[in-house]
Amino acid sequence: MQRIDRRKYDELREVNITRNYLKHPQGSALIEIGETKVICTAMIDDKVPTFLKGTNTGWITAEYSMLPGSTMNRKVRDSSRGKIEGRSQEIQRFIGRALRNSVKLDKIGERTIWIDCDVIQADGGTRTASITGAYVALVEAMNKLYVQGELPYIPITHYVSAISVGIFGGVPILDLCYIEDYKARVDMNIAMNDRGEFIEIQGTGEKGTFTYGELNEMLNLAKKGNEELIRIQKRSLGDIGKLIGQIPQSEGE
C-alpha cells in the first residue's frame, strides 16, 4: 500500500515542538506534526471550580479551537456561532482527562491550570497533537511554580502523549493525515504514558468494522508512535524533563 505522503505504515510524520513559543503564558509550545500546527498554552489561575473550594486540591481544564484559517474552507468561530461545537467539547474533555491523569492534583494547591489548544493549521490529528504539545506547556508552567518556590517539587508522575491510528486501504497505519483520516475504514485516537500504559482509547469503525487482530495491530502501532513522541517531548524539555516522576518517597503516588 502506498500512503499519501509515501511514509511507511508505521512511520510518524515529522514532529517539531518549539517551547516558550509565546511571551505571556507560564507555559507554551508550538507543536508541528506534518502539516498540522497547534499552539498550546498553560496559564495558572489561583482559584478552583466551586466543587473543589476548601479541598486544597487543584484542577486542570482545557479549551480547544480551530482558527478560521486553519482549514481550506473558513472555520466559523464558536463565538460567532453562539455555542461551543460538539466536536470541540469532546476534544477539550479528552485533552483535560489525559493531562489530569499525569498530575497529583492534591499537591498543586487550590489552583486551576488552564490549557488552551488553538489549531492554526489542520491536516489530521489535531486532538492528539494538542495533547502532546499541551503536556510540554503544562510541564513548563509547573516548573515555573517550582522555581518560584510555590511548589516543593513538580507533581507530575509521568509523561503523556497521544497519536492517531487507523485502517486505510485495508492496512493498519500510524498517524493519519487528513485525507487518510477522511477515507479510513477505522479511526482511533490513543493517549498513553511513558510506562506503556493506556490512558484513553477512542475508536470507531467509520466505514466498516474491525477485527480483534486489527485492533491489536493498531494498539501496537499506537504504542510505537507514543514512545517516539515521548522521546521528542523529553528532548524538547531537556533538564526540566528529568524532574518528571521525581515524587518524594514519603508522598507515594
Spatial separation of the C-alpha atoms in residues 14 and 177, rounded to whole Å: 12
- Known binding residue 87? Answer is yes
Spatial separation of the C-alpha atoms in residues 166 and 123, rounded to whole Å: 15
Spatial separation of the C-alpha atoms in residues 20 and 43, rounded to whole Å: 12
- Known binding residue 127? Answer is yes
In 10 A of CB 48, how many CB atoms?
21
The DSSP secondary-structure symbol of 105 reads: G
Strands across the sheet containing 27-33? 15-19, 27-33, 36-45, 112-121, 59-66
SS3 (DSSP) at 81: helix
Spatial separation of the C-alpha atoms in residues 208 and 27, rounded to whole Å: 41
- Known binding residue 69? Answer is no
- Known binding residue 77? Answer is no
SS3 (DSSP) at 214: helix
SS3 (DSSP) at 161: strand
- Which helix H or strand E contains 57, and what residues bound it? none
Residue 14 CA from chain centroid, whole number: 16
Q: Residue ranges for the binding site?
A: 87, 125-127
Per the annotation, where are the binding residues for phosphate? 87, 125-127
